Amino acid sequence: MAELFAKAQGYSRGRGGSMHIADVAAGVLGANGIVGQSMGLGIGAALSIQVQNRPNVVVAFFGEGASGAGIAHEAMNMAAIWKLPIIFFCEANRYAELSPFSTHVSLEHISDRASAYGFPGETVDGEDVFAVYRSVRAAAERARAGGGPTLIEAKTYRWHGHYEGDPQFYKTADERKNGQAFDPIARMKANVGVIAGLTPERLAEIEGNADAVIRSAADWADGLQSAPASAMHEDVYAESAHATA
């Protein structure tokens, strides 16, 4: 919350915002705005795990748009050759920026690409929390046992536009109106009783506790002083000559 509110106590000292959350101590190496880079950074992290003989597994998240970037293919190839402990996790949400899936992907399933590198690829229902969990768990077990990478494609749906105020003219009017019917959280709540044996009361209690944690984090962050403007240029390694002209 401090990072979202641009406060100095944020993970990236308030300079990254929502797109650059990193918490290295928790194993979150950092999101970045360069499409596809999670895979390049991910195989580096996976190589370090392998060299140090640690039991961790990397999960590199990316979209179907990123799956066509050069770095995706280089990273998957190297991960396959070195049998790196990494899961390539594609959130295939039907749109890349303003482009529908079929305009830039030549296959029905991104997961089919894994066979080109010789490791398993799997398509899961990304709206089903439990299916995703099972699939990731199996891939992590394989990676820990030295079996190398897995490509998981989770089919899901992007509610929002690419940017605030995106009129989403690349969707049909019906889709713009009814798209929110795809809701993995609502679906999980409807199924969790059957699968995990939770009562509606216990589920409401869990939700209430989570809400309270989020609320208190937001209140805490809201009350912090803003990072001083004088600190804005700290950790900047290159500046345009025009900035000082």
Ligand X SMILES: Cc1ncc(C[n+]2csc(CCOP(=O)(O)OP(=O)(O)O)c2C)c(N)n1
Q: How far is the CB of 104 from ligand X (least distance, A)?
A: 9
Q: Does 70 bind ligand X (CB under 6 A)?
A: no
Residue from 60, 66, 140, 227 in contact with ligand X (CB under 6 A): 66
Q: How far is the CB of 52 from ligand X (least distance, A)?
A: 30
Of 154, 31, 162, 153, the residue nearest 100 (C-alpha): 162
Structure tokens at 238: 């290159």
How far apart are alpha carbons 183 and 198 in whole angstroms?
Answer: 20
Q: How far is CA 190 from CA 18, 72, 82, 129, in A?
A: 29, 36, 42, 12
Q: Give first-to-last CA distance, the chain, whole Å.
A: 36
Q: How far is the CB of 64 from ligand X (least distance, A)?
A: 5
Structure tokens at 189: 């709540």
Of 89, 18, 20, 75, the residue nearest 45 (C-alpha): 75
Q: Do 149 and 90 form a contact (C-beta atoms < 8 A)?
A: no
Q: How far is the CB of 71 from ligand X (least distance, A)?
A: 8
Helix axes 129-144, 184-196, angle to 10 degrees: 80
Residue 42: what residue type? G
Q: Which is nearer to ligand X, 42 or 63 (CB)?
A: 63
Q: Does 35 bind ligand X (CB under 6 A)?
A: yes
Q: Does 151 bind ligand X (CB under 6 A)?
A: no
Instruction: Annotate each residue in 163-192 with x if it binds ligand X (CB under 6 A) or - if it does not, as one string.
Output: ------------------------------
Q: How far is the CB of 35 from ligand X (least distance, A)?
A: 4
Instruction: Annotate each residue in 86-105 with x if it binds ligand X (CB under 6 A) or - if it does not, as one string.
Output: -------x--xx--------
Containing H/E element for 80? helix 70-81
The alpha carbon of 77 is separated from its chain's Cα centroid by a whole number of angstroms, namely 21
Instruction: Annotate each residue in 40-59 with x if it binds ligand X (CB under 6 A) or - if it does not, as one string.
Output: --------------------
Q: Does 111 bind ligand X (CB under 6 A)?
A: no
Q: How far is the CB of 34 from ligand X (least distance, A)?
A: 5
Q: Which is nearer to ligand X, 32 or 77 (CB)?
A: 32
Q: Does 198 bind ligand X (CB under 6 A)?
A: no
**Contacts to ligand X by CB under 6 A:** 33-35, 62-66, 93, 96-97, 158
